[in-house]
Structures are given as structure tokens and as C-alpha cells.
A = this chain, B = another copy of it.
């Protein structure tokens, strides 16, 4: 009963979802304009129609210009993508992915502090 399993979004679909997360419910035109390199208008339209079929977005048809919203939250989708990558490339160890991520680039002191808090919480509550 929890949430239905949504398919993993493709590259282009993820781009559209990012716009929807940032802007909230939006029309095809709005998404198309927000997307710098999203291709032509009908391309974005088609993608969003397909995403509707897949259940990645929901469509409100009460207006002439349909309004689309992301079905899964950004965080939930991130969790899905991370879990997938952990399985496929990190032998199932999220910690190894985390370390790889941190070694990659510089991270701000604020984020470091947050990470430390997270570690504390994880140790405190086995």
C-alpha cells in the first residue's frame, strides 16, 4: 500500500522533473522555457505525455494548458537513484559511495558540519 513503484526516470525526464521540483506545478510551456537545451516545444510535450503514462507526473487538465506536477518528491527520487547506483557500482555499500562523493570535490564547512551531525546521529542510534 505504500507508494506505487515508479520507474527510474531517464536523463531527459530527470531534467523535466528538476524543473517541476523547482517551480512547482507547471505547464509544458513553462517547463520548456525553463529548460535551456530541452529541444523543441513538442519534444518537451511528448516527453511529459510519456511521463504521465509512466506515472512520473500527474496532469491537471482543467485548464486549456495542462498543468503537470511531479508525482514523487525530489528526495524520494534521489533516494531511488542513489540506491540504484549503490547496487550497480558500489557493491551495495552506501558508505563507499558517500566517500567517493566527498573525495570528488570540495565541500563547504556548513555541509561538513551537517555530515558530522548525521554521523553522530547514526552512531547514537544503532
Q: Please give the residue numbers on chain A whose beta carbons come within 8 Å of chain B beta carbons, in ascending order.
A: 11, 14, 18, 75, 77-79, 81-83, 85-86, 88-90, 93-105, 107-109, 111-112, 114-116, 118-119, 122-123
Q: How far is the CA of A109 from the CA of B125 in the complex (A)?
A: 11
Q: Mostly helix, strand, loop or mixed at chain A's interface?
A: helix
Q: In the assembly, how many copies of this chain are there?
A: 2
Q: Give min CB distance, A59 to chain B, whole Å.
A: 23
**Inter-chain contact B104/A101, CB cutoff 8 Å:** no
Q: Is the CB of A115 within 8 A of B95?
A: yes
- Of all A-B residue pairs in the complex, the 10 with the closest CB atoms, nearest first, are A95-B111, A98-B98, A94-B101, A95-B107, A98-B101, A97-B101, A78-B100, A94-B105, A94-B104, A82-B101
